[in-house]
Structure 1
Amino acid sequence: MTLRLPLPDGTTPRVLVLEPGPRASETVQALLDQGARVDVRCAAPDARLRDLAGRHLIALRTDADLDLSAYDVVLRDPLREQGVELSPSSPSPATTSGHVVLVGGGPGPLGLLTLAGLDAIRSADVLVCDRLAPLAALEQARPDAEVVHVGKIPRGEFTPQEQINQILVDRALAGKTVVRLKGGDNFVFGRGGEEWNACVEAGLPVTVIPGVSSSIAVPGLAGVPLTHRHLTQGFVVVSGHVAPDDARSDVDWDALARLGLTIVVLMGVAALPVIAKRLISAGMDPSTPAASIADGGMTSQRQVRSTLAALPGAAAEQDIGAPAVTVIGPAVAALLPQTSV
């Protein structure tokens, strides 16, 4: 779906989507990628629409008597009839020519998807997509391609990894070209290794198209360098999904506090207060510059900069929610502020 956006006078258009279907997230993200402000009218929004609203990407409207004249464009969701089953299909034992392509889609904006990734999307028979993938790229998919959403919404809708693996295997065993489209890079906390192994164990060929990792892209989009001469000579990327005081954590947070490197934390929004406290107790200066950036590259991108000690409170005040990247280290404050033009 392509609209002539922005408007001729340069203003940001307001778009209202009516009758959203099970693939409404693709419609929304295609509009966002063209610079629109999007409202969705839906009496009973599903988990994906609620997720988009929670990330400030759309506004949900439930009132039936909206003033349509307030919008520049009003459209019915063109994908509303194109729902798909999430359950695995039955493989065809007679066909073995299928294969799987693991595509890293970057942090979300279509412009940060690689050309190789876009080519894979265009040639796919089946697209198995995460919620943080560049869903606007699905407009480039073949009209007959099957789209299967298998997102994991924090504390919400969740497709077990074992089911995702089985979907990839079953579709490929049926002779399909299956593209697994993920946000970021498949092998940076993307569980791409598990998907690779499941496919190889089933005798299927697998290829990888790397993606731009959010661990690097999101700080860059926010003007936060990970290294800077005379300040730091490296960076380390860790998962904050499991808090430092959790028995399941295998990250040596005490060692990280002493490395003198920039620390990049993915999936660490909920555990941020515990992470900051642990690093400080291990010897890191509480005044170390730190930043948290949510929805990097999207229209709802927002960030907060503070000291390590004050960051958790500041992030909560500024409604920094998942997905977010936290960066800790002197390089956070290395760049001069740009002057307003």
Structure 2
Amino acid sequence: MAEHPAYPVGLRLSGRRVVVLGGGQVAQRRLPALIAAGADIVLVSPEATPSVEAMADAGEITWVRRGYADGDLAEAWYALIATSDPAANTAASAEAERHRVWCVRSDDADQATAWTPATGHSEGVTVAVLTTHARGRDPRHTAAIRDAVVEGLRDGTLVAPHHRTRTPGVALVGGGPGDPDLITVRGRRLLAEADVVIADRLGPRDLLAELPPHVEVIDAAKIPYGRYMAQEAINNALVEHAKQGKAVVRLKGGDPYVFGRGMEEVQALAEAGIPCTVVPGISSSISVPGAAGIPVTHRGVAHEFTVVSGHVAPDDERSLVDWASLARLTGTLVVLMGVDKIGKIAETLVAHGRSPATPVALVQEGTTAAQRRVDATLATVAETVRAEDVRPPAVIVIGEVVRVGPAPVA
């Protein structure tokens, strides 16, 4: 049998008895997929890893706490044999053969009646890669092929046309802090499937160059505003293109709901009766400090962090921030959109009790090739920004966590 290729097939195990022999690392890796398949799983093993035991405690599997015994595979549709006892494995695979139960053996693929492929998933598609013959099986090779195919489907570099009618609508996608590798997998896939992309200046611009030629890319900063405010014009553009039956992606920097006005766009689409999918993004408020070697929290230093917008000064009547309360906190303060107001912000924090010696880091163009970090204190930050010509976009971190990591490279 080993000279013939395996015949690939997808097993539908929902509600059907599956027996797993052995509760070690192999079972720990394989059980989640069997649980997801809806199988009625019986684990036979005197011991189990903590993760496998947690599955039993949660009622996801039934655990029989003993070694294998003849008859354990009766009525089973599928068996995973993965004990540390070769004799038990051999006896179990012989029982599987007698009862015509498809079984996988972790210790000897040649003696199994089934092989487990390297599998991955992408939007309703399961990719399974199987070595043709047992001899010369290289799990790393099959896993690498699996990973390449799944990654291609997810990021859009491997495009399989949809032969079904797509529902027009808008995807509000958080593009992350700037590095194109930090957009979510789902966001990148939706971007690859778009007909129209309305992009922010702070979105991951490098991804736009990868789009097919037929995709219309609209710079949100250059939409003709006419008598509308900028946000109203963007809302109108989203509605207009979606009503034309196109798949529209609104690509925003960071996360759509962290100072991104994302909900305003969702509300405008809802009023127009247009479906909208929201894809969260990695917020620059935590990712940019991290990329610069600054943890926003650290044991014994900061037990909380607060993210505020600095687009209006503390003494501006439009400000909704309680700067006096923030000055009394001992944790980390992260300020977004505050480069041109940092002098007034620092002055206000000091006036309400924050030490002038409190360290401050400004991280410009975080996570991109142009990233740079400039350090100061509340007492010196206004002059430092001028002297170092710090420009937006920059994330400002205020607090003792600035000094936690390695010293910044000059």
TM-score scaled by structure 2?
0.57
- Equivalent residue, structure 1, for 2:249: 179
Asked if the contact 2:293–2:406 (Cα under 8 Å) also holds between the matched residues in 1, the reply is: no
Measured against aligned partners, the alpha-carbon deviations of 1:141-183 in whole angstroms (never above 9, x if no partner) come to 2321111111289xxxx97000000000111111111100011
Cα separation, 2, equivalents of 1:200 and 1:159:
19
Which shifted more, 296-305 or 101-110? 296-305
Distance in 1, matches of 2:275 and 2:218, equals 20
Aligned match of 2:388: 318
Name the CA distance, whole Å, in 1 between partners of 2:170 and 2:196.
9
Structure 1 segments unaligned to the other structure (5+ residues): 1-94
Partner of 1:117: 187
- Distance (Å, rounded) in 1 between the aligned partners of 2:265 and 2:256: 9
Alpha-carbon contact 2:197-2:217 (below 8 Å) kept: yes
Aligned match for 1:217, one of 283, 287, 291: 287
Pick one of 321, 326, 344 that aligns with 1:256.
326
The Cα of 1:299 is off from its aligned counterpart by 2.2
Tell me, in whole angstroms, the C-alpha distance in 2 between the residues paired with 1:288 and 1:127.
42
Are 1:278 and 2:348 matched, yes or no? Answer: yes
Size of the alignment, in residue pairs?
A: 242
Q: Does 2:216 match 1:146?
A: yes
**For residue 313 of structure 1, what is the amino acid of its counterpart?**
E
- 1:189 and 2:279 correspond: no
- The one-letter code sitting in structure 2 at the alignment partner of 1:267 is M
Q: Give the drift of 1:263.
A: 0.4
Give the equivalent residue in structure 2 for 1:3: none
Q: Which residue of 1 aligns with 2:274?
A: 204
Q: What is the aligned partner in structure 1 of residue 149 from structure 2?
A: none
Counterpart residue type for residue 206 of structure 2: A
- Secondary structure (helix, strand or coil) at the match of 2:340 reads coil
Aligned identity (percent) is 50
- 1:330 is matched with which residue: 392, 395, 400? 400
Contact 2:177 2:288 in 1 (8 A): yes
User: Larger RCO: Structure 1 or Structure 2 (Cα < 8 Å, ≥ 6 residues apart)?
Assistant: 1
Sort the Cα spacing of 1:339 and 1:144 in 2 relative to 1 into closer, same or farther, 3 A.
closer
Q: Is the 8 A contact 2:310 2:337 kept in 1?
A: yes
Residue number in structure 1 paired with 2:207: 137
Which of 314, 317, 334 is the matching residue for 1:247? 317
SS in 1 for 2:402: helix
Contact 2:173–2:256, Cα closer than 8 Å, also in 1: yes
Aligned equivalents of 1:160, 1:328: Cα separation in 2: 31
2:358 to 260, 281, 288: 288
Q: In structure 1, how many angstroms separate the alpha carbons of the residues matched to 2:243 and 2:319?
A: 37
Contact 2:373 2:408 in 1 (8 A): no
Residue 303 of structure 2: aligned partner: 233
Q: Distance between the aligned counterparts of 2:409 and 2:292, measured in 1?
A: 15
Alignment of 1:46-85 (within 5 A): none
Cα deviation per residue 1:96-137 (whole Å; 9 max; x = unaligned)?
A: 942110000011111111211110110001100011111111
Q: For 1:244 and 1:327, locate their aligned partners in 2 and report how far apart those are by CA, in whole Å.
A: 17
Amino acid of the structure 2 residue aligned with 1:167:
A
Q: Indicate if the aligned counterparts of 2:334 and 2:396 stay in contact, CA closer than 8 A.
A: yes
Of 330-339 and 120-129, the range deviating more from structure 2: 330-339
TM-score with structure 1 setting the length: 0.68
**SS of equivalent to 2:187:** helix
- The separation in 2 between residues aligned to 1:302 and 1:159, in whole angstroms, is 33
Q: What is the match of residue 307 of structure 1?
A: 377
* Alignment RMSD: 2.1
String of CA shifts for 1:233-284, please: whole Å, max 9, x gaps.
0101000001001111110000001121200000001111000000000000
Query: Is the CA contact 1:303–1:320 (under 8 Å) kept in the aligned structure 2?
Result: no
**Structure ranking higher in helix proportion:** 2
AA partner of residue 180 (structure 1) = R
Q: Which amino acid is 1:212 matched to?
A: I
Q: CA deviation at 1:206?
A: 0.7
Instruction: Report how far residue 306 of structure 1 moved.
Output: 1.6
* 1:61-117 CA distance string (max 9 Å, x none): xxxxxxxxxxxxxxxxxxxxxxxxxxxxxxxxxx99421100000111111112111
Structure 2 gap segments, 5+ residues each:
1-164
> Partners in 1 of 2:200 and 2:408 — Cα distance?
35
Q: Shift in Å at residue 224 of structure 1?
A: 1.2
Distance in 2, Cα, partners of 1:294 & 1:339 = 14
Letter in 2 for 1:225: P
SS across alignment from 1:293: strand
Cα–Cα, structure 1 residues 192 and 289, in superposed 2: closer, same or farther, change >3 Å? same
| CA distance in 1 between partners of 2:337 and 2:229 (Å) | 18
Say which SS state the counterpart of residue 297 (structure 1) adopts.
coil
